[in-house]
Amino acid sequence: MAKIVGTVSTSHIPAIGGAIHKGLQNDPYWKPFFDGFPPVRDWLATVRPDVVIVAYNDHGLNFFLDKMPTFAVGAAAEYSNADEGWGIPVLPPFQGDQALSWHLIESLVGEDFDLVTCQEMVVDHALTLPMALLWPEQNWPVRVIPVVVNTVQAPLPSAARCYKLGQAIGRAVASWPGDERVVVLGTGGLSHQLDGERAGFINKDFDLKFIDSLTANPAWATQYSTLELVELAGTQGVELLNWLVARGTLPEKARQVHVNYHIPISNTASGLLVLEPEG
Amino acid sequence: MSTIKPHQPVPGTTIFDGEQARKGYALNKMCYSFNEAANRAAFLANEDSYCERYGLNAEQREAIRNRNVLQLIAAGGNAYYLAKFAGIFRLDMQDIGAQQTGLTKDEFKAKLLAARGE
Ligand SMILES: [Fe+2]
């Protein structure tokens, strides 16, 4: 049976793309952020994933407001990155896993998640940059399945619904007869707000509580409405919904493997968390 | 009796909901087009005709002319799409944050650092 060997949750700030391109990993501004990742890469070398399911939000590359799915799952043989408008370098394409994608879709729709399915999709920095942080050589030794969550246009799916989607993904993987080892990657956040007079809002206290909750009390954040999450984490901090999808794929009991938190990268409090299923 | 939710309850924040999405559709559609380099070049070559092609209303046209992010948001702009507009002028998120908060860029960066609370 396929198995989820762990989750990685990380910020996906576009400026990371520029920093990678310019080789600024040891620059004093960037070092506290990039130094979070070698332990994750060591961990990946031990858990040896075949497939990465990536929960993220599209920022207006694949989806426009003409058609905005609440949840969408990729079912393509390959996913390309493309120009997003502000000149971060385009990264190499990712190999998909169509068989497992369709199994996920069958299983999730079977559990009443009314998904949009995508046989063609381009993937933006929210997928590509976390992948490049995990595999800096960008040779992608894994197949990828995108799971896209609407964090752009209200009404957003609730935190509780995102957590349940993760749980359903966990069950779908567990019911797949292959022997794939799967990592679930959730990207975005943590607290930040780009727009309005409240731009620059960061909430360290909330972020640390949220990170902490994911190990032993994973449903903690589901007590909040998406509007309350905007108030607590900022208009784009609500991207933490993707972390909840990832966390939901693990059993209730999980073990913290690695954590990093740093303020600020661009306008964002950056977070990084690796969890493994306990037992 | 109304089932309408309380509008925009977070101070200094415009929730991008259906009302904003309707209001800002043309503006955001133009910004979405800036994913492509040829469209960015076409905008720079003739801003008036490019805005006209997307059917911007007077408020949106004025906000684009002013490169004013708060006006763009009031006109229905969404942060993720407006970022593509800002990218044309190589503005980063601290430039945009400073503009919206009335701070200098250095003051805005200091505000971000202060969130460490150390
Ligand atoms: Fe984002």
- Give tens-digit pLDDT for B33-91: 999 999 999 999 999 999 999 999 999 999 999 999 999 999 999 999 999 999 999 99
Measured between CA atoms, how close is B20 to chain A, in angstroms?
Answer: 9
B42 touches chain A (CB under 8 A): no
- On average, the pLDDT of chain A sits at 97
Measured between CA atoms, how close is A73 to chain B, in angstroms?
Answer: 21
A235 touches chain B (CB under 8 A): yes
Q: How far is CA A231 from CA A159, A191, B48, B76, in A?
A: 14, 10, 37, 20
The CA distance from A192 to B80, in Å, is 13
The CA distance from A18 to A22, in Å, is 6
Which residue in the block uniquely carries the two structure tokens 């109304």?
Answer: B2
Question: CB–CB of A134/A212 below 8 Å?
Answer: no
User: In this predicted structure, what is the pLDDT of residue A133?
Assistant: 98
Record: contact A60-B25, CB cut-off 8 A: no
pLDDT beyond 50 at B2: no
The CA distance from A10 to A41, in Å, is 13
Q: Within 13 Å, how many C-alpha atoms sit on residue A117's CB side?
A: 16
The pairing of beta strand A51-56 with beta strand A268-277: unpaired
State which residues of chain A have pLDDT below 70: none
Instruction: Please give the backbone phi and psi of residue A62, each rounded to the nearest 5 degrees, phi first.
Output: -85, -40
User: In this predicted structure, what is the pLDDT of residue B1?
Assistant: 43
Q: DSSP label at A156? A: P
pTM for the full predicted model: 0.97
Average pLDDT over residues B6-30: 92
pLDDT beyond 80 at B5: no
User: In this predicted structure, what is the pLDDT of residue A42?
Assistant: 98
SS3 A11: coil
The CA distance from A198 to A60, in Å, is 22
Global ipTM? 0.95
B62 touches chain A (CB under 8 A): no
User: In this predicted structure, what is the pLDDT of residue B7?
Assistant: 64
Query: Domains of chain B, with CATH numbers?
Result: 18-89 (1.10.700.10)
End-to-end Cα, chain B, rounded Å: 49
Q: DSSP label at A191? A: S
| A90-111 per-residue burial string, b: 16 or more CB within 10 A, e: under 16 | ebebbebbeebbebbbebbeee
Domain A3-277, CATH class in plain words: alpha beta
Residue of A nearest to B117 (CA): A204
Two structure tokens written together for A83: 């120009």
Contacts of B58 (CB under 8 A, 6+ apart): none
CB atoms near residue B8 (< 10 Å): 14
Record: contact B84-A235, CB cut-off 8 A: no
